[in-house]
């Protein structure tokens, strides 16, 4: 029964959410709204569990002086400060919480993304070694796009024989990289999105039908 009940609940709610999209009945929409509210309440409870887990995992590391324990102190202090500021003065603009978020968290987030750019550049350098025809094609397309994007490349781009695209052609633009971005790149991106959507539908059906039971903590 411990596993059967979750499977039944998942099946009933999953089928209901699918059918809700196909019916205009107001009663069904009201039930969906109530279910969403219940889900939001459960999500709020999971935040409390996450906070308790954060303390339970990091406090023993600090007590035993394990690896990176000073960073754990910063993590817990930052969490405590933001909680006190949020509950004490609110989160509206002009409050200490908003000031901390806007002047501490946002710059740190921007720094992390800036560092990520260097890792991407390093990975691209390793990937663009033209050892195969496919890698050479990838390298050529990347070079064309980069030349069209940077100001230095635009200084001599107009002297290339293919810098103009005929009127009416897909992705009409004075830069060839626009055609690359709007035609082959966009087609590949849409193919990936369609594949991801089909995978999501397949996974959803497996969960509703009880074929996928990993959320039960088992297989």
Give ∠ CA 165-167-170 in degrees, rounded to 5. Answer: 70
182's CB contacts (< 8 A; 6+ apart) are 170, 171, 173
- Looking at the domain assignment, is residue 35 inside a domain? no
- Looking at the domain assignment, is residue 171 inside a domain? yes
Residue 207: which domain range? Answer: 130-212
Tell me if 96 sits within 8 A of 81, measured CB to CB. Answer: no
Residue 27 has pLDDT above 70, yes or no: yes
3-state secondary structure of 92: coil
CA 22, 25, 31, 37 dihedral sign is positive
- Looking at the domain assignment, is residue 153 inside a domain? yes
Phi, psi of 119 (to 5 degrees): -65, -40
Tell me if 104 sits within 8 A of 82, measured CB to CB. Answer: no
Q: How much is the pLDDT for 166?
A: 46
- Looking at the domain assignment, is residue 139 inside a domain? yes
Residue 139 has pLDDT above 50, yes or no: yes
Centre a 10 Å sphere on the Cβ of residue 179 and count the other Cβ atoms it contains: 19
Q: How much is the pLDDT for 157?
A: 61
- Looking at the domain assignment, is residue 195 inside a domain? yes
Tell the residue number behind the tokens 């019916």, with chain if given: 23
Tell me if 180 sits within 8 A of 145, measured CB to CB. Answer: yes
**How many angstroms separate the CA atoms of 129 and 39, rounded?**
48
Residue 165 has pLDDT above 50, yes or no: no
For the stretch 30-40, what's the b/e string if a residue is b when 16 or more beta carbons lie within 10 angstroms of its beta carbon? eeeeeeeeeee
Residue 162 has pLDDT above 60, yes or no: no
- Looking at the domain assignment, is residue 173 inside a domain? yes
- Looking at the domain assignment, is residue 177 inside a domain? yes
> What is the number of structural domains in the chain?
1
Q: How much is the pLDDT for 155?
A: 67
- Looking at the domain assignment, is residue 190 inside a domain? yes
């Amino acid at each position: 029964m411990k596993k059967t009940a979750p499977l039944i609940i998942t099946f009933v709610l999953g089928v209901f959410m699918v059918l809700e999209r196909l019916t205009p009945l107001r009663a069904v929409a009201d039930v969906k709204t109530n279910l969403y509210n219940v889900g939001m309440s459960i999500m709020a409870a999971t935040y409390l569990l996450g906070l308790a887990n954060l303390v339970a995992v990091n406090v023993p590391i600090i007590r035993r002086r394990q690896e990176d324990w000073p960073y754990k102190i910063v993590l817990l202090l930052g969490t405590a400060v933001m909680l006190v500021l949020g509950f004490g003065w609110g989160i509206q603009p002009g409050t200490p919480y908003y000031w901390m978020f806007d002047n501490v968290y946002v710059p740190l987030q921007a720094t992390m993304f800036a560092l990520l750019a260097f890792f991407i550049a390093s990975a691209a350098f390793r990937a663009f070694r033209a050892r195969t025809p496919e890698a050479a094609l990838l390298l050529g397309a990347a070079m064309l796009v980069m030349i069209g994007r940077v100001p230095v490349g635009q200084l001599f781009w107009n002297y290339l024989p293919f810098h103009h695209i005929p009127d009416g052609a897909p992705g009409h633009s004075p830069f060839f990289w626009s055609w690359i971005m709007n035609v082959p790149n966009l087609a590949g991106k849409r193919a990936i999105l369609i594949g991801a959507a089909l995978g999501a539908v397949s996974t959803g059906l497996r969960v509703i039908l009880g074929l996928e039971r990993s959320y039960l903590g088992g297989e």
